[in-house]
């Protein structure tokens, strides 16, 4: 981080895409508090022709256009040289799956340069100039701008001080390998649907026990594959065995 900040540099051909998201909610608050710094760089500024061309037809034929290697690499090299050492990330459906664990790893970095592709993707030679490729899911978007925002949002909220104490990320889904427990607020009863009595009891020990159990139950129902990688206590394992009738999940 530069002077205590996490520095994000985003390379894109649509810099205006980020105007509104960066002025909202957590990202805005983090920037105003001096905890993150986001710079958007227009890849077209690194072209050399009068039309500022960033794409061309693919060699070998085929549908769509491909982002040219020269302006993208010029942008990467120029931006990397503007500050402290950076990790260069290319967002692409072919990258490693983005996860809570990867967000935590990235949040410990000082600086991230995020390259947003478009069209049919980037010239393959761009990959020689990046450190990591990340995918936010098994689907295709029109460009890398939305994945870049996802990465910045997920990473920023893990930086100390970005979230207040009342918004700690430690209980979030995936933070401990499990889905988060159910949450409720007023009113106590809505159309016959009641808040679980234990949450109204004031007994914090019982509340924490209930939340842990509900987190395990929800994970077993919705994402059972997460259980094997979760941090489980002996009490957790006992509950899972009771719920499933076996210890195959452990």
HEC string of 192-232? CEECCHHHHCCCHHHHHHHHHHHHHHHHHHHCHHHHHHCCC
Flag whether pLDDT at 222 surpasses 80.
yes
pLDDT of residue 169: 65
Flag whether pLDDT at 213 surpasses 90.
yes
pLDDT in tens, 129-169: 999 999 999 999 999 999 999 999 999 999 999 997 555 66
Q: What's the mean pLDDT in 204-227? A: 96
Flag whether pLDDT at 234 surpasses 70.
yes
Q: What's the mean pLDDT in 218-239? A: 94
pLDDT of residue 247: 85
**Residues recognised as catalytic:** 93, 120, 157, 172
Tally of domains within the chain: 2
pLDDT of residue 2: 47
CB-CB contact of 225 with 174 (8 Å): no
pLDDT in tens, 175-206: 788 999 999 999 999 999 999 999 999 999 99
**25 and 73, same structural domain?**
yes
Residue that is last in its domain, among 97, 124, 156: 156
CB-CB contact of 100 with 175 (8 Å): yes
pLDDT of residue 174: 76
Flag whether pLDDT at 39 surpasses 50.
yes
Please give the share of the chain, as a percent, with pLDDT higher than 90: 86
**121 and 19, same structural domain?**
yes
Q: Which two tokens stand for residue 249?
A: 């999940």
User: Mean pLDDT in the chain?
Assistant: 93
In a domain, 250, yes or no: no
pLDDT of residue 132: 98
Domain that holds residue 56: 6-156
pLDDT in tens, 55-90: 999 999 999 999 999 999 999 999 999 988 999 999
Please give the share of the chain, as a percent, with pLDDT higher than 70: 95
| pTM of the predicted structure, to 2 decimals | 0.90
pLDDT in tens, 98-123: 999 999 999 999 999 999 999 889 99
pLDDT of residue 21: 96
Positive or negative CA dihedral for 210, 103, 16, 56?
A: negative
220: domain CATH number?
1.10.1270.20
**179 and 90, same structural domain?**
no
77: domain CATH number?
3.40.1280.10
In a domain, 164, yes or no: no
């Amino acid at each position: 981080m530069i002077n205590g900040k996490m520095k994000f540099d985003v390379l894109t051909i649509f810099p205006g895409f980020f105007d509104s998201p960066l002025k909202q909610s957590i990202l805005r608050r983090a920037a105003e508090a001096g905890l993150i710094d986001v710079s958007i760089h227009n890849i077209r500024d690194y072209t050399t022709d009068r039309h500022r061309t960033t794409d061309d037809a693919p060699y070998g034929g085929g549908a769509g256009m491909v982002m040219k290697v020269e302006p993208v690499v010029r942008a990467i090299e120029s931006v990397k040289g503007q500050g402290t050492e950076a990790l260069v990330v290319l967002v692409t459906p072919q990258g490693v799956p983005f996860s809570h664990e990867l967000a935590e790893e990235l949040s410990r970095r000082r600086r991230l340069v995020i390259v947003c592709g478009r069209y049919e993707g980037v010239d393959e030679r761009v990959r020689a100039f990046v450190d990591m490729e990340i995918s936010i899911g098994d689907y295709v978007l029109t460009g890398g701008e939305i994945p870049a925002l996802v990465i910045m949002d997920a990473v920023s909220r893990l930086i100390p001080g970005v979230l207040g104490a009342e918004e700690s990320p430690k209980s979030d889904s995936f933070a401990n390998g499990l889905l988060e427990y159910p949450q409720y607020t007023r009113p106590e009863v809505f159309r016959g649907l009641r808040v679980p009595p234990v949450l109204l009891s004031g007994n914090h020990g019982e509340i924490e026990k209930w939340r842990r159990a509900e987190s395990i139950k929800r994970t077993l129902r919705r994402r059972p594959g997460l259980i094997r990688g979760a941090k489980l206590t002996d009490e957790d394992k006992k509950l899972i065995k009771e719920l499933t009738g076996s210890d195959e999940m452990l």
